[in-house]
Structures are given as structure tokens and as C-alpha cells.
């Protein structure tokens, strides 16, 4: 495998498969077992909420799925490809071509315009300037920010900044959107607006969403809840219908 574009869907196999995944920080008596053997399948098009107390392992698991960290042992397969067998450059290509990220802290370039922030992933992928602009404008429109393209991040409200972050995450049409406490810095009204956007992109674009949250009313937007405790999956519950509370 020479680049991330060769990762193809393989029939009905899970999009993401974790088997016996562990993560240990430190050594000896100081060792911390953040993950203690995780088995998990996530399929194309799912909207999954990952919950649990601080230190339960949920963010560590998210970081491994996002190729931002590596497991101590176990297996991680993405569309049938063993991610640990990829080089660091290949894992970077996987992130660039298949994964989008939304963080609690927005992670925008504050002195850069909304349009330029959204264009950034397209720049990394080698898109020309006119195509970058067209796609970024469409992404900003899809999150309700038409007219705000030339405003810098520092000129936007928290809710608007998170909308820019969502637009940046979906502008490349990733297979998976990883959202780590995406509403954590927002009030409930703006939080629900962001959740409505994530739900829309899950339904209309088929983007698989894996969201870490502490908030049960945010998790209610998902089709499936996975609860972590002490580095293990304590509960994995699927819903037949979304339990969204408007």
C-alpha cells in the first residue's frame, strides 16, 4: 500500500474494527492502563456517542482511531487495512483523506478568515486555489455562515467558530468525523445547533460520526451509545430511532 487512496470498502466488513486494544502510559508501578482490551466494530454511516467519566479511556480510544496515538497492543483495522502496519506517512495520508476532526477548543487560526480556515485541509490535499475557494464557500454555506467568510476567527462568536470548525472538518467529505466534546465550550442553544449540523451531515452525506461527550442530551442525537469505564467498554447500546430532544 503506497497511499491512503488504496483503502477501499470491503463488503459488509466494519469500517473500523478494534480487537484487544490496549494503551499503557508509563512503566512499572507508575504505569497507567488507559485501555485494557477494547473490542469494537463501527460501520459506515453510524452516529456513535462515546461516554464515560474522565479517565475512562474514551478520548484515548478516539485518538487511536484518529491516528493521533498508537496502541500498546491489539489491532486496529480501517476498512480491512491494519493501521499499525502503515508507516507514519501512510497514517498521515489516512488522516488527511478519510478523517475529519472537531475539537472542543475549535482549534482555528484566530487571525485567519473563516474561508481560509476551511480551505486549509484542501490546501494540504493539493487542491488549486479556485477549487479550494468554491468548496470552502459551499461548506460555510452548509453550516449557515454565508456572509461571514472574511471575518477572522477572533471576530466570531463561540458558536460561529465551532460552525467554522465543522465546515473545515466536512469540506473534504471524510469517511469519519471524530468529534471530541464538540459542544463543551457552548451554551445549550448553540450546542444543539452544532448537533443538528452533525446529524444533518450524518444523514445527508453518510459521514460516520464518532463523538465523545459527557452530556446525555447530546448523546441522544446518536444512534448508538458506548460507555467506557476503567479502560473497558461497560455498555454498548443501539437505538432503533434517534432520541433527539429538541
pLDDT tens sequence across 151-188: 999 999 999 999 999 999 999 999 999 999 998 888 88
pTM: 0.88
pLDDT at 241: 53
User: pLDDT 10s per residue in the chain (246 long)?
Assistant: 344 444 555 456 899 999 999 999 998 888 999 999 999 999 999 999 999 999 999 999 999 999 999 999 999 999 999 999 999 999 999 999 999 999 888 789 989 999 999 999 999 888 999 999 999 999 999 999 999 999 999 999 999 999 999 999 999 999 999 999 998 888 888 889 999 999 999 999 999 999 999 889 899 999 999 999 999 999 999 875 554 443
DSSP string of the chain, one letter each residue? --SGGG----TTS-SEEEEEEEEEES-GGG-EEEEEEEEEEE-TT-EEEEE--TTSSHHHHHHHHTTSS--SEEEEEETTEEGGGS-HHHHHHHHHHHEEEEETT----TTSBHHHHHHHHHHHTT--HHHHHHHHHHHHHHTT-TT-TTSBGGGS-HHHHHHHHHHHHHTT--SEEEEESTTTTS-HHHHHHHHHHHHHHHHHH--EEEEE-S-HHHHTTSSEEEEEETTEEEEEEE-SS-----
pLDDT tens sequence across 6-22: 455 545 689 999 999 99
CATH number at 14-238: 3.40.50.300
Amino acid at each position: 500500500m503506497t497511499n491512503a487512496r488504496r483503502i477501499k470498502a470491503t463488503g459488509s466488513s466494519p469500517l473500523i474494527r478494534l480487537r484487544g486494544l490496549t494503551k499503557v502510559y508509563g512503566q512499572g508501578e507508575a504505569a497507567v492502563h488507559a485501555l485494557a482490551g477494547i473490542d469494537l466494530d463501527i460501520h459506515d454511516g453510524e452516529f456513535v456517542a462515546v461516554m464515560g467519566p474522565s479517565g475512562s479511556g474514551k478520548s484515548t480510544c478516539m485518538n487511536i482511531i484518529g491516528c493521533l496515538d498508537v496502541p500498546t497492543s491489539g489491532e486496529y483495522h480501517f476498512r480491512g487495512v491494519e493501521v499499525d502496519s502503515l508507516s507514519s506517512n501512510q497514517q498521515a495520508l489516512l488522516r488527511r483523506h478519510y478523517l475529519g476532526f472537531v475539537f472542543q477548543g475549535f482549534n482555528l487560526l484566530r487571525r485567519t478568515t473563516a474561508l481560509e480556515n476551511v480551505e486549509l485541509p484542501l490546501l494540504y490535499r493539493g487542491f488549486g486555489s479556485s477549487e479550494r475557494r468554491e468548496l470552502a464557500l459551499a461548506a460555510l454555506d452548509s453550516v449557515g455562515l454565508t456572509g461571514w467568510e472574511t471575518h477572522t476567527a477572533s471576530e466570531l462568536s463561540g458558536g460561529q467558530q465551532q460552525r467554522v470548525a465543522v465546515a473545515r472538518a466536512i469540506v473534504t467529505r471524510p469517511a469519519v468525523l471524530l468529534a471530541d466534546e464538540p459542544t463543551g465550550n457552548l451554551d445549550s442553544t448553540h450546542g444543539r445547533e452544532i448537533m443538528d449540523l452533525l446529524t444533518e451531515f450524518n444523514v445527508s452525506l453518510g459521514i460516520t460520526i464518532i463523538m465523545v461527550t459527557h452530556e446525555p442530551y447530546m448523546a441522544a442525537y446518536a444512534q448508538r451509545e458506548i460507555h467506557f469505564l476503567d479502560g473497558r467498554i461497560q455498555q454498548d447500546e443501539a437505538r432503533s430511532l434517534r432520541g433527539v430532544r429538541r
